[in-house]
Structure 1
Amino acid sequence: MNSNAKRLLAKGFTLTELMAVVIIIAILAGIGFGSYKKSVERSHFTEGLVAGNTVLEAVNRYYYDNPDLSAAARKRPKMDYLDVDLSNAKACTVVSSASSDYCRRTRYFEVIIYDWGVQVNRVQGNSNKDYYFYLYPDFAGRYTDQCISRNDAGADLCKSMGYTSCSAGKCSKP
């Protein structure tokens, strides 16, 4: 072999060097994918809060427009009575106890109107996921909105979104 050929062979990478680069890239991709998943779930969390608060504001407007309803006679309004329309809303499928008159499903959440306020369930497919919210109307003054977790992932997400006063899986904003 002449000296030029030896120089060309010496300029390449060894298998060990290539494997080290592949391992480093895999580690960085794993970290990046985890961060990406958390960011996506945080955006879904925000979407659920927006959907729930939109319905809650409509419930408040309904009660303000119908002041003759006393606190004792206050009935929950049906979704059709409210002046909101959630994008791509359809009938609920996960929460069987919720009548379709009081429940609408978005892509990631089911928003249910109760006498005491609004519940927003995080759903995926046809099952409940890691967390849900309780959002309370103006007339329920002493209650603060809550994020309730079904598992550790839900609890971590609730805490990271500002619900820091937690006990027994229920978190509320301080």
Structure 2
Amino acid sequence: QRRDGDASSSHTIFVVRRQGPSDVLVQTSEMTMHAYNRYGGNSLYFGQPVGRSFKVSYNRPFGEGDGVDNDFFNAEYPLVRFLERNGYDVAYCGGIDVHRDASVLQGRKIFVSSGHDEYVTGAQRTNVTAARDAGTHLIFMTGNEYFWRVRTAPSIDGASTPDRTIVCYKETLDGAKTDPSSEWT
């Protein structure tokens, strides 16, 4: 839905993964998009009636955010247009792809964290750090990158699809241990 409330113009964002090597790998910031997404009334920032949620699902459309431009068309779309228009050898992935499989980073000269990429899993950060240590150059396009550590959980829709729920308790905001897991977020 467009920001002006006109529901006649909706978009579906998906990543087409390219097989094989490329010089540049651009990672979308979909974890952050889901964290700020208030579709259904809840996000990792806001929630009704009791406050922010600790878990948000990939299995929902993008709805109202918090007023910050955390969507694909704010920063990522112009980057994609620039790279494609100027003939860069580029491939794309989601943050969840880097979380699941370090091999998506192999053979790349440059890794670009695009958009407002604020949320990261432990495995995702480990994989990007290993790529850096192996000689891949890193570009982070905005501030507050890789700020909140999250973990993933299966979907709750009955299919239990892995990695479809983002979990983040933001214990530093509470000043206390609130996450029932031993893994901090």
Provide TM-score, normalisation by structure 2.
0.28
Indicate the structure (1 or 2) with the bigger Cα radius of gyration: 1
Structure having the higher helix fraction is: 1
**Larger relative contact order (C-alpha < 8 A, sep ≥ 6)?**
2
Provide TM-score, normalisation by structure 1.
0.29
